[in-house]
Structure 1
Amino acid sequence: MTLADLPPRQIAYFVPDIRAAALAHHRQFGSGPFFVIDHVALSRSEHRGTPRPLDHSSAYGQWGGVMVEFVQQHNPDPSAYHDIYPAGGNGLHHVALFVGDLGAALAEHAAAGNQTAQYAVTATGTAFAFIDTTRSLGHMLELYEPSPGLTGFYAMVAAAADGWDGSDPIRTINL
């Protein structure tokens, strides 16, 4: 596997307020609508191999051909987000890629010297990992396998943007 074979699926920013950031992005770029998930439920979370809680919320919207995410962390614990933004702040955090085999991709990155900064599994069973590529890329990579639930979510966000009139730009949902 080479990164050249993996198109970016999402660009994500760490921010102090996901709703404000999503609305500002919408106003500047016409992106959206944004679907907000408050306190994303996780069944597992590890930061650099150590189990740690990760309480975060995310807003997902379409920006042209790519999904854009705004994420905020609610708890002060160490995380892949706090690795880049230890005192809060905001900015580009990661680019997400779909991989055919998450375990194999993690092993390849480890062999190349890129540590797994965060490994987590959502309550719905989607595993994802943040690979620390900050030295080479300036941001993390998020990797996950394209399951029907995940690709269905991406398709729903893209479909909502298709022909969207700009109304109701921030929508809270539950998964």
Structure 2
Amino acid sequence: MQIAGYPIRQIAYYTPDIDQAALAHSAAFGSGPFFTLRHIPLTRSVHRGVSHTFDHSSAYGQWGDVMVEFLTQHNGGPSACRDMYPAAGAGGLHHMSVFVEEMDGAIARFEEKGMPLAQRSTTEFGTDFAFLDATDTLGHMVEIYEGGESLRGFYAMVREAAEGWDGSDPIRELG
């Protein structure tokens, strides 16, 4: 499966409780184990052209051939998450992620296809990511990031942890 010619690497759901969602998904579909990052530190976050705080946490696990993420936002400020799920307690499919070769060019190509930039952020770890608003065309956001060595290594670690996983220790803290 692809979006705009890029293979889908991840499916992500917005949820009020990442641990509960990860445990339920694991029990229902055998996904996991899940690696959590809480209050992911960012050096910048710009939503629809305005800088905002984006305090979020995520749980990442393997679901067959694709990574599955559960994310939540802790603060009430504007974000690509609040664009889709403004009500407390709401949740559902939020985005699908793809790796791109170069961020600015990819953002321009997505915008040409009617998917404007909603949010662009950078983690303290140096990962630059962007949410493109594909709600009119796909019903969800598209997340893009450059698939550098560090990010590919993280995806490989999650995938390798799932190989032969016996279901024990389903939630594992990172950071």
Scaled by the length of structure 1, the TM-score of the pair is 0.96
2:166 aligns with 165
Deviation at 1:112, TM superposition (A): 3.1
Distance 1:3 1:26, change over 3 A: closer
Alpha-carbon separation, structure 2, partners of 1:34 and 1:156: 11
Q: Deviations over 1:139-162 (max 9, x none)?
A: 000001101110000000000000
Q: In the alignment, what sits opposite 2:96?
A: 95
SS in 1 for 2:8: coil
| Cα distance between partner residues in 2 of 1:22 and 1:56 | 16
- State the SS of the aligned residue for 1:109: helix
Aligned-partner residue type, residue 16 of structure 1: P
Q: Is 1:49 aligned to 2:60, yes or no? A: no
Which runs of structure 1 show a deviation greater than 6 angstroms over 4 or more consecutive aligned residues?
Answer: none
Structure 2 counterpart SS, 1:136: coil
Which has a greater percent of helix?
A: 1
Counterpart position of 1:128: 129
CA distance in 2 between partners of 1:165 and 1:45 (Å): 38
> Which is strand-richer, 1 or 2?
2
CA-to-partner distance for each residue in 1:61-92, whole Å, 9 max, x for gaps? 00000000000000000100000001130100
Structure 1 residue 4 displacement after superposition: 5.1
Is 1:76–2:105 an aligned residue pair? no
Q: 1:163: how far off?
A: 0.5
3-state SS of 1:7 partner: strand
Question: Where does the alignment leave 5 or more consecutive residues of structure 2 unmatched?
Answer: none
Give the corresponding residue for 1:107. 108
CA distance in 2, matches of 1:51, 1:36: 25
The residue type paired with residue 14 of structure 1 is Y
Between the two proteins, the alignment pairs up a number of residues equal to 173
CA apart distance, 1:108: 1.5
- Give the CA RMSD over aligned residues: 1.1
Output the CA distance in 2 between the equivalents of 1:129 and 1:97. Answer: 10
CA contact (8 A) 2:4 2:110 kept: no
Paired residues of 2:13 and 2:93 also in contact (CA < 8 A): yes
Matches of 2:117 and 2:147, distance apart in 1? 19
Name the SS for the 2:23 alignment partner: helix
Q: CA deviation at 1:111?
A: 2.8
Q: Determine the C-alpha separation between the residues in 2 that align with 1:7 and 1:24.
A: 26
Partner of 1:145: 146
Identity in percent:
57
The one-letter amino acid of 2:112's match is A
